[in-house]
Chain A
């Protein structure tokens, strides 16, 4: 069920990125897609009532087996962190290109920014 919501968010982002005419809205659509995927990754590793996957002193003393049984999966969290860093980079680049394009063309409307054809 929750996964379906994630997918819905993904399709909303895709719809926005594909149909909108404004460059900034396209960028927002792409970011919505990105976050839908991040959410999906986090939910993959989530476990109802789980604990954070950080080993404390008490966990070491009581044996790691119990800890492993109740902690959430840390790997998707690492993946999401990396994906966020990457999306930050691409977001910065996209926004800077939007800004530069606005300076050149004086508009954010992609229907008016079409010098390249063919």
Chain B
């Protein structure tokens, strides 16, 4: 794949940044507005897919290599599990217990601030990372469509 014409390349290199930023916004404001980890992650991945379409697969791979993406994938999943386990360990309360919310935010005038939902934004970030990286991996591997590619990407992360 060589990529498309210069017009498409120029425009998409600009738009890509905006899409990426929008994805981050959707993830960070997931607890206040519609959206969240999954939707934001898909948007993040789509910015890379745009790169892949405009510049060709090799260029996208240079930007975000396969091993790095799979590391990010795992990091997202582990972060998500870590948030859940923190709830378990923090005062021996409970798996997925929203410890930040219960310990530090209850009773303060916190509603509708960016920092108002305790662990939920953290989980959203984790899911966004996971979904973005794994969706990118899926599309990349499918576009390779040849040798050394294993089926079995595992984005069955629970939302």
Chain A residues with CB under 8 Å of chain B are 52, 54, 57, 60, 78, 81-82, 84-86, 88-89, 92-93, 95-97, 99-100, 103
- Of the residues B34, B153, B156, contact of A54 by C-beta under 8 Å: B34
A99 CA to B150 CA, complexed, in Å:
11
Q: Which residue of A lies closest to B145 (CB)?
A: A99
Q: How large is the interface on B (under 10, 10 to 19, 20 to 34, 35 or more residues)?
A: 20 to 34
Task: Tell me if B97 is interfacial: C-beta within 8 Å of chain A.
Answer: no
Q: Which residue of A lies closest to B154 (CB)?
A: A89
Query: Given A54-B34, A85-B38, A92–B138 Cβ distance below 8 Å?
Result: yes
The answer to whether A82 and B145 touch across the interface, beta carbons within 8 angstroms, is no
* Main DSSP-derived SS at the B contact region: loop
Task: Digitize B124-159: 1 where CB-to-A-CB distance is under 8 Å, 0 elsewhere.
Answer: 000000010001001001100110010111111111
A52 CA to B138 CA, complexed, in Å:
32
* Main DSSP-derived SS at the A contact region: helix
A88 CA to B155 CA, complexed, in Å:
8
Query: Given A60-B111, A95-B142, A99-B142, A89–B155 Cβ distance below 8 Å?
Result: yes
Query: Given A57-B111, A96-B151, A97-B151, A85–B159 Cβ distance below 8 Å?
Result: yes
| Nearest CB of chain A from residue B72's CB, rounded to whole Å | 17
- Of the residues A81, A84, A93, contact of B151 by C-beta under 8 Å: A93
Task: Digitize B70-85: 1 where CB-to-A-CB distance is under 8 Å, 0 elsewhere.
Answer: 0000000000000000
Task: Tell me if B14 is interfacial: C-beta within 8 Å of chain A.
Answer: no
Q: Which residue of B lies closest to A100 (CB)?
A: B151
A52 CA to B142 CA, complexed, in Å:
36
A92 CA to B42 CA, complexed, in Å:
14
| Nearest CB of chain A from residue B131's CB, rounded to whole Å | 8
Which residues of chain A have C-beta atoms less than 8 A from B149's C-beta? 96
